[in-house]
Amino acid sequence: MSVLARTLTRGITAGVVTLALGSAAFAFELEAGKPYDLGRPATPEEIAAWDIDLRPDGADAPVGQGTAAEGEEIYMVQCASCHGEFGEGRDRYPVLFGGEDTLASHDPVKTPGSYWPYASTLFDYIHRAMPFGQAQTLTDDQTYALTAFLLYINFVVDDYDFVLSHENIGDIEMPNHDGFIPDSRPDAQPETVCMSECDVATEVVGRARIIDVTPDDDGETAAISID
Instruction: Report 101-140 residues binding another protein (CB under 8 A).
Output: 103-104, 106, 108, 110, 112, 115-118, 120-121, 124-125, 128-129, 132-133, 135-136
Are the C-beta atoms of residues 147 and 166 closer than 8 Å to each other?
no
Greatest extent of the chain over all pairs of C-alpha atoms, in Å:
69
Query: What is d(CA 34, CA 64) in angstroms, rounded to the nearest whole number?
Result: 42
On the 0-12 / 13-18 / 19+ scale of CB atoms within 10 A, 122 is: buried
Is 46 an interacting residue with respect to another protein (CB under 8 A)? yes
Q: Which of 28, 158, 171, 184 binds another protein (CB under 8 A)?
A: 184
Identify the bridge partners of residue 66 per DSSP, sorted by sequence position.
164
Nearer to another protein, 158 or 220 (CB): 220
Nearer to another protein, 94 or 160 (CB): 94
Shortest Cβ distance from residue 131 to another protein (Å)? 10
Shortest Cβ distance from residue 97 to another protein (Å)? 14
Shortest Cβ distance from residue 135 to another protein (Å)? 5
Q: Report the alpha-carbon angle 136-140-145, nearest 5.
A: 110
Tell which residue, 181, 170, 178, has the closest CA to residue 147: 170
Q: Which of 15, 17, 57, 85 binds another protein (CB under 8 A)?
A: 57
Shortest Cβ distance from residue 164 to another protein (Å)? 18
Count how many residues are written for the chain. 227
Q: How many residues belong to the site for another protein (CB under 8 A)?
A: 97
Q: Which of 84, 93, 141, 163 binds another protein (CB under 8 A)?
A: 93
Is 28 an interacting residue with respect to another protein (CB under 8 A)? no
40-46 own/partner pairs: CB under 8 Å, 24+ apart: none
Distance of CA 14 to the CA centre of its chain: 27
Nearer to another protein, 3 or 76 (CB): 3
Is 168 an interacting residue with respect to another protein (CB under 8 A)? no
Residue 80 region by backbone torsions, left for phi larger than 0, else alpha for psi between -120 and 50, else beta: alpha
Q: Which of 28, 39, 158, 218 binds another protein (CB under 8 A)?
A: 39
72 CB-near residues (< 8 Å, 6+ apart): 149, 152
Is 170 an interacting residue with respect to another protein (CB under 8 A)? no
